[in-house]
Amino acid sequence: KCVLHHYPFIGDRLIIGKFCAIAEGARFIMNGANHAMSGFSTYPFNIFGHGWEQGFDPQTWSKEIRGDTIVGNDVWIGMDAVIMPGVKVGHGV
């Protein structure tokens, strides 16, 4: 799996442009990997699997969200690359 920590209740998107080449082992880390520093704990509750998010108010995460992750058109992403949350990779990179 190359998209990690993507949870629908957060609302972030991974947008990949046309004619992109993504090598084996490349990973996209989504905003769900960020720890909510304003909460009662920074513990990574997502390790429990599905259902953990029902105990959280999505509005409390809004300060921690870095936005959509966007990969432009005609982009090459190399082997074992890691793209962090909210990164915008321009066209032709």
- One of 5, 35, 50, 91 is an active-site residue; which one? 35
Residue pLDDT tens, the chain, 93 long: 799 888 777 889 999 999 999 999 999 999 877 766 666 666 666 666 666 666 666 666 666 778 899 999 999 999 999 999 999 999 998
- Give CA–CA dist 68/14, Å, rounded: 6
Q: What is the pTM of this model?
A: 0.74
Which pLDDT score is estimated for 33?
76
CA of 9: how far to CAs of 4, 22, 36, 53, 58, in Å? 14, 26, 14, 8, 7
CA of 62: how far to CAs of 40, 54, 66, 75, in Å? 15, 16, 9, 29
Domains of the chain: 3-89 (2.160.10.10)
**Pick from 68, 78, 89: which is nearest to 13 by CA?**
68
Q: Is 91 a catalytic residue?
A: no
CA of 50: how far to CAs of 38, 41, 85, in Å? 22, 19, 21
Which pLDDT score is estimated for 32?
79
Which pLDDT score is estimated for 5?
80
